[in-house]
Amino acid sequence: MFRYYEQASRLLGSGERVTIEQFALDLRRFILQVREATCGQDKARQAAFKVHLVAHSMGGLIARCYLQNICRYGAPTAHENAELELSYKGDNPHYVEKLFTYGTPIMAWISWE
């Protein structure tokens, strides 16, 4: 379970505000950790790996930002792209089979600005 809000909590995290884009990058990290834990180094299993995302409220915005921005445009820095197996080319695998959101606000676009 990816609980993005813990990072911003004063009790469980740093207590600092975090952007949706940063949460989306953290979601990518989490998905890669799940892939590693379930597939190990098996290349065939890694290639077939998919997740089902279920997101509520702001979690749906994070999932959309992940799919619409991170997987399309990569991360802001070359270091993060390397760490997260991303590129700026827009052909990044997202590893999402299905996305279900509920109680998620409608936003036309989430940008890096």
Domain that holds residue 94: 5-102
Split into its structural domains, the chain has a count of 1
Domain contains 42:
yes
pLDDT-derived band at 108, boundaries 50, 70, 90: low
Domain contains 113:
no
**Is the confidence at residue 98, as pLDDT, over 70?**
yes
pLDDT-derived band at 105, boundaries 50, 70, 90: confident
Domain contains 65:
yes
pLDDT-derived band at 112, boundaries 50, 70, 90: very low
Domain contains 59:
yes
What is the 3-state secondary structure of 13-60? CCCCCCCHHHHHHHHHHHHHHHHHHHHCCCHHHHHHCCEEEEEECHHH
At residue 111, the pLDDT reads 52
Domain contains 38:
yes
Report the chain's mean pLDDT, rounded to a whole number: 87
User: Number of H helices and number of E strands within the chain?
Assistant: 6, 2
